[in-house]
Amino acid sequence: MLMVSACARRPEPLSAAVVNDRSVVFPGESEAEAITVGQPGVSYSLDGDVLRALVIVANDLFPPGTRAASCPKRMEAQTYRVVRKGDVIFVFIEENLAACGRRFPAMDSGAKYAIGADGRILRRVVDGLDEDDANWFAVTPGDGGSPSEADAGSSPQRVWMSDGGTEGLVPGQSLAPVVAPNPRRSADAGSP
Amino acid sequence: MKNFGPFNSYADALNAACPLILSKPNATVVHLQDSSPDVARRAATEYCAWLYYTPSELYEMSMLADQSGPGDFVSGMRSCSLPPFVDDPRYSAEQLKHIFALHNHPFGTRLSANDLRFIESMAEVHDWEVMTRNGKVRLSIIAFFSKSQDPAAPTCDGFYQYVPATREMMLWTRQNGQWKLDVHGIVTWINERTYRLEPQ
């Protein structure tokens, strides 16, 4: 028994195999507000595929039998947003500030997964570790492509590069004039 | 932070902060990316700190925030929790001007949407723009990276920077001892978790 115990491998996070299918594009937000599961007095049904996707994600980020020392890095301190598109189940994980009584998020406090119909992890993007194509692409003026169109097959080469006009700048210096607050935040403030 | 500065210019402070943060254990793991990618992912560690401006008109760096402690490596999340206010016993919190939220990206990846989310939340409690001896400096988040294959001597090869006041995204790289602005664009949000970089 001792032998078995001594040889048992410590569960490691991020150890699940990933197909890394770059053709899988994470969808944008749905127009509709996400439904929060678990409200008192309301029953919900979750099909097996969705549950399996959540289990795969949770086990990969937070291996069973482990518990992070700090609250924000625990399984129960995240929100899990699920979007199904065709055969793929997308899971977006983000820090739930209220869970640990925090007012501000941490840097790199998110992750997202795409789980295929066979339960394989098609794509995994963990903040701070994996490049997120969707978060960095430049479109040429007039392109007007939707995020998913612009994202498909995008690569860092699509980023607009500049060589000129930077002489005399100091690292950390800002170039542009101050603009209105981020419209995303304004929109948030105005929503019901 | 002891043994760091203080500095008369924020550029000098950045020059010093970058190699210091990247020299911490597993702050860069690009040397393992090809040979042991799984080990690299699990070892990768983020460190974070504030660069701030004091009433003495000097730039200093806070203590590195308590990044993933030994008990946190069981989690796959690689986040770094930076307290919103620097605790410098020489001054009151209101006297300190928070300028740059510094951290590292162990694989040299770009700023995440949650990095932007973090600094925008900081813009709610700190001034977007502060006056210093070097003129106006805007609150921003910075992610240092190294491309070094030598873990014993990681080089500071550049950083990504995002400025919430202007929604600017910049990539600064270091070549032959000189800093160069490689990418400059304006961020627009596609949705809560995806941003797009528009050329400017």
Question: Most distant CA pair in chain A: distance in Å?
Answer: 69
- Asked if B85 is an interface residue toward chain A (Cβ–Cβ < 8 A), one would say no
CA closest to B116 among chain A residues? A107
Residue range A119-162, pLDDT digits in tens? 999 999 999 999 987 766 544 333 333 333 333 333 333 344 44
Q: Do A128 and B198 touch (CB under 8 A)?
A: no
CA closest to A112 among chain B residues? B193
ipTM of the complex: 0.92
Using the predicted structure, report yes or no on whether residue A7 has a pLDDT greater than 80. Answer: no
More confidently predicted of A91 and B194: A91
Token couple for B136: 């106006």
Instruction: Find, among A189, A128, A6, the residue nearest to B77 by Cα.
Output: A128
Q: Do A184 and B198 touch (CB under 8 A)?
A: no
pLDDT at A181: 55
Instruction: Find, among B79, B100, B109, the residue nearest to B162 by Cα.
Output: B100
Using the predicted structure, report yes or no on whether residue B199 has a pLDDT greater than 90. Answer: no
Q: What are the start-end ranges of the E strands in B62-176?
A: 97-104, 129-132, 135-138, 140-145, 158-163, 168-175
pLDDT at B73: 82
Q: Do B164 and A183 touch (CB under 8 A)?
A: no
Report the distance separating Cα A92 and Cα B25, nearest Å.
Answer: 29
Work out the minimum CA distance from A43 to partner chain B, whole angstroms: 28
Q: Do A69 and B128 touch (CB under 8 A)?
A: no
- B17 contacts B141 by C-beta, under 8 angstroms: no
Which of B21, B68, B107, B112 should we substitute to test contact with A (largest number of A Cβ atoms within 10 Å)? B112
Report the distance separating Cα B187 and Cα B159, nearest Å.
Answer: 17
Q: Do A107 and B48 touch (CB under 8 A)?
A: yes
Q: What is the pTM of this model?
A: 0.87
Q: B18 falls in which pLDDT band (50, 70, 90)?
A: very high
Using the predicted structure, report yes or no on whether residue A41 has a pLDDT greater than 70. Answer: yes
Using the predicted structure, report yes or no on whether residue A94 has a pLDDT greater than 90. Answer: yes
pLDDT at A183: 46
